[in-house]
Structure 1
């Protein structure tokens, strides 16, 4: 099977660009399942019911999240009711929603696990302990979105899960890394998928605002850049349906 993981979708302009590019790319590559990180899909940040519906209607099968998942209170009910909208599984149990789901594709089942790192981010349950617990009865094909800041943490966690999952990718930094590969025990990996949004921006934000913040150290509202050329970053994983092993990992940038 071919699984396409899409980097953080930023704002309405990122959502629109995804809708413009994804259908033809799915057909061209014969993609069976699409997973996108949607925690910044609403303008500002966070996810709203409308941004989630827009992405699902555009061809995304599962939405994952991260530290911005709960920025919009209007989405809390959707996290509880929609089985294909995930937030990190190592959030406290009292948080809305779930961090693991199984997609029934008829001929196969695919597990999707969303976890968050703990280096330079909020204190959470250990992703190692959480993964051990949730992967015990996971399908043969299971993939992981690891929303984390530090590349070292991502790579360490990937080696821990090597051979236990089909693929693991990083999200959060919005900058695509060039280390797409197969790990020694045939788990597909990339440290960060990148982002879907405006190219001439700083992680989707207007550059002049990030410069102002850096120079003055004063509070600045980070408005998104809503015009100009865009890109959709991600990684395409080829997975053996019989063994669950990853056969290929290829980073993608569509402009």
Structure 2
């Protein structure tokens, strides 16, 4: 099985990049499943709307994952329980959390499970992602060994640690949230694909998708500042493609996907 994963979609520019390039990537890379992180995809860069969720699916996403901005657009509460291809972090605390922390889809003769988890280092103290992963993976492996984890976290150490913890039990642990693609893609012990961060998809001219003015003001003055999504050209699209053995669930290859000014996509 080949999985194409696209990192955090930011604002209108990110959605435009998905609409322009995802169909072409799918044509050329021929993935059997495509996963897109959409937690920053609204025009203000926080949360997701039903319209954008549908646009991502129409552009070729099979599953949309989320992260720490899951609840920032309150419209989500109106449709998350019926959005069968939308996955929010499984370790949100409390009972009766809206939505789902994982989903599965049939891929030819195999089943792919997609789990979303959020880290706790430098982020809100959610339930223990290691313990939640343990419970979910144990149950899911009764049905399929092909398990993809989007670990939405700040610290590279936490991302690496959970990848080692789940080594051999999941097919891939790919980090999101920091919006900068890392160069550490690897197959750990010939079993589990890992990359600290898949990167972002959106405007590349700002600071991690935001307009520079507000970010610079915060750094220079250490006072609250309004962050606004960058809307200008150019754009960037980041992610990775992973090959997995359907029988064992072990990853066999991982390679980055990067489209920007320095890495144009030959159409």
TM-score of the superposed pair, with normalisation by structure 2: 0.93
Rounded Cα–Cα distance in structure 2 between residues aligned with 1:78 and 1:153: 31
* Count of paired positions: 255
Superposed CA offset, 1:138-163 (max 9, x none): 12111100000000000011000110
Q: CA deviation at 1:215?
A: 1.2
| Contact 2:190/2:251 (<8 A) preserved | no
Q: What SS does the aligned partner of 1:234 have? A: strand
Rounded Cα–Cα distance in structure 1 between residues aligned with 2:190 and 2:150: 18
Q: What SS does the aligned partner of 2:132 have? A: helix
Q: CA deviation at 1:185?
A: 4.5
Q: Identify which range, 101-110 or 223-232, moves more after superposition.
A: 101-110
Please tell me whether residue 137 in structure 1 is matched to residue 139 in structure 2. yes
Q: CA deviation at 1:2?
A: 1.0
TM-score of the superposed pair, with normalisation by structure 1: 0.97
For residue 162 of structure 1, what is the aligned residue in structure 2?
Answer: 167
For residue 117 of structure 1, what is the aligned residue in structure 2?
Answer: 119
| Contact 1:23/1:59 (<8 A) preserved | yes
What is the root-mean-square deviation of aligned Cα atoms in Å?
1.1
Q: CA deviation at 1:94?
A: 3.0
| Contact 1:141/1:241 (<8 A) preserved | yes
Q: CA deviation at 1:18?
A: 1.1
Superposed CA offset, 1:43-100 (max 9, x none): 1111111111111111111011111001011111322111210100000233210111
For residue 20 of structure 1, what is the aligned residue in structure 2?
Answer: 20
| Contact 1:12/1:51 (<8 A) preserved | no
| Contact 1:162/1:185 (<8 A) preserved | no
| Contact 2:87/2:100 (<8 A) preserved | yes
For residue 49 of structure 1, what is the aligned residue in structure 2?
Answer: 50
| Contact 1:77/1:96 (<8 A) preserved | no
Rounded Cα–Cα distance in structure 1 between residues aligned with 2:29 and 2:198: 18
| Poorly superposed stretches of 4+, deviation over 3 Å | none
Please tell me whether residue 249 in structure 1 is matched to residue 254 in structure 2. yes
Rounded Cα–Cα distance in structure 1 between residues aligned with 2:234 and 2:74: 31
5+ residue gaps, structure 1, are none
Rounded Cα–Cα distance in structure 1 between residues aligned with 2:53 and 2:166: 29
5+ residue gaps, structure 2, are 261-267
Superposed CA offset, 1:169-198 (max 9, x none): 000000111100000151001000000011
Match of 1:229 among 234, 245, 257: 234
For residue 67 of structure 2, what is the aligned residue in structure 1?
Answer: 66
Rounded Cα–Cα distance in structure 2 between residues aligned with 1:155 and 1:71: 27
Rounded Cα–Cα distance in structure 2 between residues aligned with 1:24 and 1:185: 30
Q: CA deviation at 1:31?
A: 1.1
| Contact 1:114/1:145 (<8 A) preserved | yes
| Contact 2:190/2:252 (<8 A) preserved | no
Rounded Cα–Cα distance in structure 2 between residues aligned with 1:78 and 1:149: 28
Q: CA deviation at 1:16?
A: 0.7
Q: CA deviation at 1:105?
A: 2.4
Superposed CA offset, 1:6-60 (max 9, x none): 1100001100111100111111111111111101000111111111111111111
Q: CA deviation at 1:219?
A: 2.4
